[in-house]
Amino acid sequence: MDGTAWSDPMMVLYDTLALLSSGTIAIVTLGLHKIKLNAYQLQGVVESAFVAGVLLAVGLALRAIPATGGTPAEVFVVTAMIFLILSVSSRLP
């Protein structure tokens, strides 16, 4: 990594806002925020994985746009994995 991806804090802010807004829209659209802890079954895990996939896709789409600062793709992969792990583990009894 050459360090240029993190040189402009505004580009990092744009990436963060894009991931937060797309994740929020996907969560609300799927109704994932309404699932109670005792009702979180396989469908909830699948929906959480779908939201993680949306985060990854949006991140990689941002990566493809040259004007966005070129955040490394690994950052978006790790972000999606962390979201999925925390989303599922926070709902375990």
In a domain, 1, yes or no: no
Instruction: Quote the pTM value.
Output: 0.77
pLDDT for res 6: 57
Q: Which pLDDT tens digit goes with each residue over 52-77?
A: 999 999 988 888 877 666 678 888 89
Where in the sequence is the domain holding 35, given as residue range(s)? Answer: 6-89
Provide the number of structural domains found in the chain.
Answer: 1
Q: Is the distance from CB of 87 to CB of 51 less than 8 angstroms?
A: yes
Query: Phi and psi of 44, rounded to 5°?
Result: -65, -40
pLDDT for res 40: 61
Q: 87-92 long-range CB contacts below 8 Å, 24 or more apart?
A: 87/48, 87/51, 87/52, 88/45, 88/48, 91/35, 91/37, 91/40, 91/44
Picking from 1-5, 23-27, 48-52, which range would have the lowest pLDDT averaged per residue? 1-5
The CA-CA-CA angle for residues 30, 21, 43, to 5°, reads: 20
**pLDDT at residue 81 tops 90:** yes
In a domain, 10, yes or no: yes
